[in-house]
Amino acid sequence: MMPVHLPLTLHRRDGDPAPMTRETPTRPDPARYARHLALAEIGAAGQQRLAASAVLVIGAGGLGSPAALYLAAAGVGTIGIVDHDRIEISNLQRQILFATAGIGASKAQAAGARLRELNPDIRVIAHEVKLGEANVMQLLAAYDIVIDGTDRLATRYLINDACVLLGKPLVSAAIHRFEGQAMTWVPGGAPCYRCLYPQSPDDLVPSCAEAGVLGVLPGVMGSLQATEALKVLLGIGEPLTGRLLVYDALSLTFDEFRFQRRVDCAVCGDHPTITTISPPKESRLSGITEWTPQQLAQELKNGTDDRLLLVDVREPWEWAAGRLPGSVHIPLGTLPQRTGEIPAGVTPVFICAGGVRSMAACRLLAAQGRSAVNLAGGVSAWSGVYGAPPPPQDHQH
């Protein structure tokens, strides 16, 4: 595969409709980048090219942290960070951009400060916004390449579609428990994320918070994303186009799976059906009701529990830590095969940690023409009102 060369004459929008001309990079410090300058594949011209480049890192989390740090260290002139969250203590197990003292601070702002501390010669733009259909095209337009460090499938598809429509190279990675995967898309006929995964039920895939993740795993995958981005910017090597790289931390093995562009791909196929990004139309699934913890408690107090079935769809380890009294355990992944265990004469109240997986369970039953209730905020919201629920007894399953 021929190296990829990108034009670097774009204009930037810092979350503002008014365009701002990209700053002319200063001459890279030969002492700071001495090891790069010693590489014939990079040299002074390549280092200057990096200084003139702009990379957008979406998600300052486990993947975005190492990717952003290595891009800053490498001398990428402009780095954009998209993240609307704040630092939580649970982030520090894997999100190496942050420190304990920063708990509660804006991730985007803290990431910017850390990157500038590492390399004061670069420009960092903190985009403290939630990425969505309304702003994705504007945010991506000013950058040369995008690194996807998000953990929701719906967002990955959104980023993929926007990159394809804008012709922006994309380096995507994902992590789950002890495994990671990565791929790269570049303009010019390479298969995109939708070619690999045409569609997927977003809510059926647990996040890191739900499934857990080895802390060092995103360090490996995020570093690979930075590697891919630098290769594409420099036009050297062979990017991961048409190849899915899979890493297994437990066996310490890498596997590679090749895939082709789908002629029927919805966004990069011969006759694409996705030709623009627009805000989704609001829709409401009939048969789905959402209750607060107080509403559920009142229903149970009113003696309607014989017409309700509390169904906990969390993973076994979450269930073992504590559950609402009287609930039954059907993990979300097994629900499609176990809907028959929910009697037709009762209304299931689905429960998970935060309300996301339980809503997916509601949708599953609604698709079968049944009514269902979602506990808004899940066990977390219930605990905030009534205290943490107790663990199940040994004889309960």
Residues with catalytic annotation? 208, 352
**Token output for 61:** 């989390």
Q: Are residues 229 and 340 in the same domain?
A: no
Indicate whether 146 belongs to any domain: yes
Instruction: Give pLDDT, residue 207.
Output: 62
Which position has the token pair 């590492």? 118
Look up the CATH number of the domain holding residue 131.
3.40.50.720
Instruction: Give pLDDT, residue 285.
Output: 45
Q: Are residues 171 and 69 in the same domain?
A: yes
- CA distances in angstroms from 351 to 291, 334, 360, listed in the order given: 11, 15, 10
Q: Are residues 211 and 338 in the same domain?
A: no
Query: Three-state SS for 341?
Result: helix
Which strands make up the sheet holding 288-291, listed edge to edge? Answer: 288-291, 372-375, 347-351, 308-312, 328-329
Whether 367 has a pLDDT exceeding 70, the answer reads yes
Instruction: Give pLDDT, residue 19.
Output: 39
Give the least confident one: 1-5, 202-206, 383-387: 1-5
Q: Are residues 92 and 208 in the same domain?
A: yes
What is the pTM assigned to this prediction? 0.71
Indicate whether 301 belongs to any domain: yes
Q: Are residues 206 and 249 in the same domain?
A: yes
Residue 205: domain span: 11-258
Instruction: Give pLDDT, residue 29.
Output: 94
Indicate whether 266 belongs to any domain: no
Q: Are residues 201 and 59 in the same domain?
A: yes
Instruction: Give pLDDT, residue 210.
Output: 59
Whether 366 has a pLDDT exceeding 90, the answer reads no
Tally Cβ neighbours within 10 Å of residue 230.
24
State the average pLDDT over residues 90-98.
95
Domain final residue pick, 205, 238, 258? 258
Whether 30 has a pLDDT exceeding 90, the answer reads yes
Beta carbons within 8 Å of 376's beta carbon, 6+ residues apart: 290, 291, 292, 293, 355
Indicate whether 3 belongs to any domain: no
Mean pLDDT of the chain: 87
**Token output for 359:** 């809503």
- CA distances in angstroms from 368 to 101, 191, 365, listed in the order given: 49, 35, 5
Whether 135 has a pLDDT exceeding 70, the answer reads yes
Tally Cβ neighbours within 10 Å of residue 97.
27
Indicate whether 64 belongs to any domain: yes
301-352 tens-digit pLDDT: 887 667 899 999 998 988 998 999 999 999 988 998 999 999 988 999 999 9
**Token output for 111:** 């990431």
Between 1 and 114, name the one with better pLDDT.
Answer: 114
Please work out, in degrees rounded to the nearest 5, the angle formed at the alpha carbon of residue 127 by the alpha carbons of 186 and 376: 100
Domain final residue pick, 217, 237, 258? 258
Which position has the token pair 């029927």? 264
User: Rg (Cα) of the chain, in Å, rounded?
Assistant: 23
- Residue 371 in contact with residue 289, Cβ under 8 Å? yes
Indicate whether 177 belongs to any domain: yes
Number of domains in the chain: 2
Query: Three-state SS for 172?
Result: strand
Whether 15 has a pLDDT exceeding 70, the answer reads no
Q: Are residues 230 and 378 in the same domain?
A: no
Instruction: Give pLDDT, residue 361.
Output: 87
Instruction: Give pLDDT, residue 286.
Output: 54
Instruction: Give pLDDT, residue 205.
Output: 56
Q: Are residues 28 and 94 in the same domain?
A: yes
Indicate whether 180 belongs to any domain: yes
Q: Are residues 295 and 170 in the same domain?
A: no
158-182 tens-digit pLDDT: 999 999 999 999 999 999 888 999 9
Whether 51 has a pLDDT exceeding 70, the answer reads yes
Indicate whether 1 belongs to any domain: no
Q: Are residues 211 and 306 in the same domain?
A: no
Q: Are residues 299 and 253 in the same domain?
A: no
Domain final residue pick, 240, 258, 276? 258
**Token output for 268:** 């990069």
**Token output for 127:** 């985009």
| C-alpha dihedral sign at 326, 328, 332, 337 | negative
Cite the DSSP H helix spans in 52-184. 64-74, 107-118, 136-141, 153-166
- Most confident by average pLDDT, 108-122, 356-370, 371-385: 108-122
Look up the CATH number of the domain holding residue 329.
3.40.250.10
Instruction: Give pLDDT, residue 42.
Output: 97
Percent residues over pLDDT 90 in the chain: 66
Whether 14 has a pLDDT exceeding 60, the answer reads no
Residue 154: phi, psi to the nearest 5? -60, -40
Q: Are residues 84 and 170 in the same domain?
A: yes
Whether 3 has a pLDDT exceeding 80, the answer reads no
